[in-house]
A and B are shown apart, each in its own frame.
Chain A
Amino acid sequence: MFQLDEIQKRLIAEVAGLHKVPIGAYNFRANSQLAARQSTANIEITSKEDGTGIDIHIKPNTKNESVHIPVVLSASGLTETVYNDFFIGENCDVVIVAGCGIDNCGSANSEHDGVHRFFVGKNSKVKYVEKHYGSGTGTGKRILNPVTEVTLNENSFMEMEMVQIKGVDSTNRVTTANVDASAKLIVRERLMTHGDQKAFSTYKINLNGENSGADVVSRGVARDKSFQKLDLGISGNAACNGHTECDSIIMDEGKILAVPSLEANNVDAMLVHEAAIGKIAGEQIIKLMTLGLTEAEAEEQIINGFLK
């Protein structure tokens, strides 16, 4: 796969599920350099003139096409901020797969801060998948601070799957969205922290248009001495439907702070939040033990299922 080394290939497989060059448009970034790029007839990827990132233009009426833009860092001590803008035309139906993998075997910190902006045209449908993963035995920290800004135009739909399961020492995720009339945003976030990791995840979603909607579900597991803060906020500025759910499992000495917030600025705004934090239910472990698993295996199955 291009000029990627084995570590980079492994990271790409982890964050983008790719074992070979994908069909469709792609942009691979490795150690702050462009590793490969392909545009298609409908999807054009260009570098920003100031060199700070890329623009992805998707033509109106593009259906069943995909864009992969994985990033890997395998050299210790790299710090970068990248701006990627997605301009999605009207009446599209596309899949966008992003994700960042860091392998840090050195003593210096490696950090990738990706700023993704999505402008989704009327009646378009976007599925966005973002996976973050860290590995490596060095003492240098693996840091990811993704910023995601979404603008959903009338009657558009976006489903975001955000996953960070392993190996990221510190993350500060900020997601904001402005949702226009009849448009809908779905977010499914999965976060697992271990060791001394810290993860902050903040959502600020503005439901601005008539009949707009958002459904944000964040599931988290904090193990060892890790810490998570989940700040899920929705503002209802029109007749709209908003729902946030923060569902967390704490283990060992893990700590989780859930701060759901709802702001209704219109009498027809319907907003709901749910939040639950607790350890794994004892009866779940007992049930799986009666099926022959050890206590540790039972915990693993329960967490795997919870974060699936």
Chain B
Amino acid sequence: MLELKNISFGVTEENKQIEILRGINLTIENKKFVVITGPNGGGKSTLARIIAGIEKPSGGQILFDGVDITEKNITERAKLGISFAFQQPVKFKGLEVFDLLKIAAGGKLKFNEACNYLSAVGLCARDYINREVNSSLSGGELKRIEIATILARKTKLSIFDEPEAGIDLWSFKHLIKIFEDMRQNISDSSIIIISHQERILSIADEIIVLADGQIKNHGDAKTILPQIVNSENVIKECGKIKE
């Protein structure tokens, strides 16, 4: 279980203090598949990076399974069982897909296990396992490998930052399948996905709407999804689209 208590985050730009997150209170229960959505610039990615320990909050407290992890660094949180899939996967010269999967699995990984993770994300293992994780791979391929590293970690909490960003329609269909499978095999873990895609929202247990650094709505997906899909709200929020 993940608990965020009064989390805030601000940056200073040109001598102006900008509040990205303001007093976020949030609980993610185990066995839940939660989607965070909301307009661009609303603070979603920042929130995910704060949970993973990449950014330090300017205020508030984070508890993971009852343990205060606010002061813990990225490695310590990873070891406690938090995974984070980057919106833009990082490239490495020389590191191969198998190397990355081995690191993700904690050092040891059999060839056939690595193949299973790659197959799960729709990549033919034989073609990819010895490829370097560099610019020779397409955006969609990198994204799938990123997801495979999260599968290999088998952690209690997995966070995906816009997994659909930058991938083609065909890959997207497969991506939905991956998340549906994850949803089915969730066992004792929980999954947080930042997404704008209705298909991903539709398989969620809970939806959180984050805008202007605040939680505008949080609840059962069945209740919240129709409100979002009837997107008048979105148009209103934009403000620029007026008759």
Point out residues on A near B: beta carbons under 8 Å: 219, 247, 281, 283-284, 286-295, 301-302, 304-308
Contact = CB atoms under 8 A, between A and B. Distances in A.
A281 B93 CA distance: 11
B75 interface: yes
Contact of A293 (B54, B89, B103): B103
A308 B106 CA distance: 21
Contacts, number: 59
12 contacts: A283-B90, A291-B78, A291-B103, A292-B75, A292-B79, A292-B103, A292-B104, A295-B75, A301-B103, A302-B92, A302-B95, A305-B94
Given A286-B54, A291-B149, A306 B74 contact: no
Interface of B: 52, 54, 73-75, 78-79, 83-84, 86, 89-90, 92-96, 99-100, 103-104, 106, 149, 153
A299 B24 CA distance: 34
Contacts of A286: 54, 74, 90
A284 B92 contact: yes
Given A290-B83, A292-B103, 7 more contacts: A286-B54, A286-B90, A287-B90, A288-B103, A292-B79, A305-B94, A305-B99
Contacts of B153: 291-292
A190 to B, nearest CB: 10
Nearest to B54: A286
A290 B106 contact: no
B86 A291 contact: no
B76 to A, nearest CB: 9
B94 A308 contact: yes
A300 to B, nearest CB: 11
A219 B134 CA distance: 15
Contacts of B84: 290
Given A289-B78, A290-B84, A247 B93 contact: yes
A227 to B, nearest CB: 22
A289 B90 contact: no
Contacts of A308: 94
Contacts of A281: 90
A231 to B, nearest CB: 22
A306 B54 CA distance: 24
Q: Which one of B52, B74, B90, B106 has the greatest number of beta carbons of chain A within 10 Å?
A: B74
A307 B84 CA distance: 27
B208 to A, nearest CB: 22
A292 B106 contact: yes
A287 B86 contact: yes
A279 to B, nearest CB: 14
A256 B52 CA distance: 35
Interface centre among B86, B94, B153 (most CB of A within 10 A): B94
A306 B78 contact: no
A291 B52 CA distance: 11
B74 A290 contact: yes
A282 to B, nearest CB: 10
Contacts of B92: 284, 302, 305-306
B103 A306 contact: no
A159 B59 CA distance: 57
Central interface residue in A247, A281, A289, A292, by most chain B CB within 10 Å: A292
A305 B95 contact: yes
A289 B74 contact: yes
A283 B90 CA distance: 7
